[in-house]
Amino acid sequence: MEAPSEPFLSRPVAPAKPAPEEPGSHARDMLTVGGVTKRFGGFTALNQVSFEVREGEILGLIGPNGSGKTTLFNCVSGALPPTAGSIRLRGEEIGGLTPDRICHRGIARTFQIPRPFRKLTILDNVAVAAHFGTNQPNTEAQARARAREMLELVGLPTDPLAATTLLGAGGLKKLELARALATGPTLLLADESLGGLDPSEMHDAAEMLKRIRRDLGITIVWVEHIMATLMRVVDRIVVLDHGEKIAEGPPLEIAEHPQVIEAYLGEKIVLA
Ligand SMILES: Nc1ncnc2c1ncn2[C@@H]1O[C@H](COP(=O)(O)OP(=O)(O)OP(=O)(O)O)[C@@H](O)[C@H]1O
Ligand SMILES: [Mg+2]
């Protein structure tokens, strides 16, 4: 199997030790984001953002284009170091760790723009993630077996010859998801998994996230612009605008929140 170039797929490290409970975090909190700021030169992309992700929930993260959603995912997953603030996974500080360490501690993310290894087959793309993205040592055969399971889960071909180049937008999103799940996460950061999908694919993708939570017990943070679909799936929503958190609450409350309507929704979302 070809060695991957992406840092989050690098060699396993020792598993994280459980940390003592810290003030401000609760037993039910999977992730605690505390006062996270991210600056690019003089531009502040995230400003003192704080929220918790509770164990077992699907949390929606919404906001206008450029409001900082992907930047937040980049900070949590280690792709970018936060300028200030703390990020704790089950009470343990992970802010500023490298992506491979964060991945091995159980956080996986999908990319808004899919990034497969185009020269590898579909199966090998997922097998590479299964092999290098976990801190459980595994053989190539075990990685391939896990890859097959994940491909079945997302509904992609498990045929070892199926080429990645044959996948359209929907297929590439599924491949992103399978690659993230293959690393065995406890927390999944899903960045715009519905972009480019038709309405029935969108419905299926939303159902799949519910299934991933239910069957694999994975906590999910989901960034998505398709509000009507997102609001039917998530337990709570955090809203960003210009890098600041402007609201947090259950979908019905967020759909009627005046500041969220003004900054993002434009008009009230009618939940069917
Ligand atoms: N590496 C970077 N260097 C400089 N500026 C950046 C960088 N990454 C993001 N930004 C800026 O930070 C802001 C937030 O971008 P981000 O991609 O996080 O927004 P987003 O909420 O994910 O938007 P979208 O809904 O369009 O995906 C934008 O103004 C963006 O141009
Ligand atoms: Mg984004």
Assign residue 148 the CATH number of its domain.
3.40.50.300
Atom of ligand 1 nearest to the CA of 67: 21
The protein residue with its alpha carbon nearest to ligand 1, atom 15, reads 66
Residue type present at position 243: G
pLDDT tens digits for range 72-117 = 999 999 999 999 999 999 999 999 999 999 999 999 999 888 889 9
Residue 4 inside a domain? The answer is no
CA 2 distance to own-chain centroid = 25
pLDDT over 90 at 27, yes or no: no
Cα–Cα dist 193/200, whole Å: 14
Angle at CA of residue 223, ends 194 and 256, nearest 5°? 105
| Mutational test site, ligand 1, from 37, 69, 72, max ligand atoms within 8 Å of CB | 69
pLDDT tens digits for range 178-229 = 999 999 999 999 998 666 778 888 888 889 999 999 999 999 999 998 888 8
**How much is the pLDDT for 6?**
37
Average pLDDT over residues 20-31: 64
**How much is the pLDDT for 15?**
39
Residue 270 inside a domain? The answer is no
Residue 98 inside a domain? The answer is yes
pLDDT over 80 at 131, yes or no: yes
The protein residue with its alpha carbon nearest to ligand 1, atom 28, reads 66
**How much is the pLDDT for 28?**
78
Q: Which of 41, 126, 111 is nearest to 77 (CA)?
A: 111
The angle, 0 to 180 degrees and rounded to 10, between the axes of the packed helices 140-154 and 169-182 is: 130
Residue 5 inside a domain? The answer is no
**How much is the pLDDT for 137?**
75
Residue 220 inside a domain? The answer is yes
What percent of the chain has a predicted confidence (pLDDT) above 90? 71
Give residue 100 CA to ligand 1 midpoint distance, Å: 22
Number of folded domains in the chain? Answer: 1
Cα–Cα dist 260/239, whole Å: 7
**How much is the pLDDT for 123?**
97
CA 166 distance to own-chain centroid = 25
**How much is the pLDDT for 267?**
60
Residue 203 inside a domain? The answer is yes
Residue 272 inside a domain? The answer is no
Residue numbers of the domain that contains 117: 29-265
Residue 12 inside a domain? The answer is no
pLDDT over 60 at 239, yes or no: yes
